[in-house]
Amino acid sequence: MKTNVWKVDKYVDNLESNPQIVDAAQVLRQNEVVALPTETVYGLGGNAKNDEAVSKIFAAKGRPVDNPLIIHIAEQNQLNEFVAEVPRKASLLIETFWPGPLTIILKIKEGILSDKATAGLGTVGVRMPDHPVALALLKACGLPIAAPSANSSGKPSPTTAQHVLEDLEGKIAGIVDGGPTGVGVESTVLDCTEDIPVILRPGAVTKEQLEEVVGEVRVDRALTETDLKPKAPGMKYQHYAPNAPLYLVAGSHAFLQQLVKDKQQEGLRVGVLTTEESVNDYQADVVLACGTRAEPETVAASLYGVLRNFNHEKVDIIFSEMFSNSGVGHAIMNRLQKAAGNKLIQE
């Protein structure tokens, strides 16, 4: 299949009637799948009401079928079509954070969405993306759009159209190229089906920000206790992994440098993941900086691109510094731990 690329300038007015958007929306209405930019990462969109479209998403990504998709909407009133109820706390969060990187899990109204999109769970994850191109496309097609990240399952999520093409060219009908995404890590997934909301996946909206609006918020214990089953089916899979094995290193830069030296002596091509502050602390084959520690948002924004660059550099092994677990650092560490398959070396 030829993958069409629609280039769209996200800053132009009246995006909804932009011919590229109109064209892409038409392809979505024909139940084909189309990658689109959001403020977090690129998503792979398809008509959430149609089994055939949803099956194409799973097939293109090679995604396990028990892993439900997040449904994207452009207007709040679209919720009533497929959600059974919106509890008060969920309403407050929607008012505060939408459009934005917060996915809310709600009870479903049966029979509207494809069961394949929701993995038959009886609940659905919904969000309204804060990106002019995504919103215009959603409005132009007038459908709830199921959209997981537009990468091959298990790989780092795409933050540019080029990343999407690397993984999915020839497997999807098209991609709307709206430039690089902003946040760089996926949305926070929050279960609002119980009285006290539970974070199932940390993301750009932090626990502290949520608690300011609705009081106590819990974190799914399975995120830290590896013997428990996560409530978000997707969190049990290895994810975001570069091709080479990645090790998190808790220790000094000198300790990490010694690990590099040892592996180089074994003849391996070694990569180091650090930040701009510390690039000169390492002599490795490939040293890549992931933003600056002073601004954790910059680390989130460049994390997946850097993981993909290690693939381009064809390293044999990667050692990564650790990051603080607070604020957006919670999401950064969650993704790095997954990318590392929880491999940790302590000094």
Counting contacts by CB under 6 A, is residue 27 touching ligand AMP?
A: no
Q: What is the DSSP string of 248-290?
A: EEES-HHHHHHHHHHHHHTT--EEEEE-GGGGGG---SEEEE-
Closest-approach residue to Mg ion (CB): 149
Q: What is the CA radius of gyration of the chain?
A: 20
Contact residue for Mg ion among 114, 118, 149, 320 (CB under 5 A): 149
Cis peptide before 156 (omega within 30 of 0): no
Give residues 233-252 in contact with ligand AMP (rule: CB under 6 A).
233-235
Closest CA to 150 of 54, 69, 35, 21: 35
Residue 197 in contact with residue 187, Cβ under 8 Å?
no
Secondary-structure breakdown of the chain: helix, strand, coil percentages, each rounded to the nearest 5? 35, 20, 45
Counting contacts by CB under 6 A, is residue 309 touching ligand AMP?
A: no
Least distance in angstroms from the C-beta of 42 to Mg ion: 10
Closer residue to ligand AMP (CB): 149 or 309: 149
Closest-approach residue to ligand AMP (CB): 234
Instruction: Report what 35 binds from ligand AMP, Mg ion, none; CB cut-off 5-8 Å by kind.
Output: none
What is the DSSP pairing of strand 145-146 with strand 43-47?
antiparallel
Q: Which stretch binds Mg ion (CB under 5 A): 57-65, 71-79, 144-152, 214-222?
A: 144-152
> What is residue 37's DSSP assignment?
-
Site string for ligand AMP, 41-80 (x = CB under 6 A): --------------------------xxxx----------
Site string for ligand AMP, 196-235 (x = CB under 6 A): ----xx-----------------------------xxxxx
For residue 222, the tally of other CB atoms under 10 A from its CB is 16
Counting contacts by CB under 6 A, is residue 271 touching ligand AMP?
A: no
Site string for ligand AMP, 80-119 (x = CB under 6 A): -------------------------x------------x-
Give the total residue count for the chain: 347
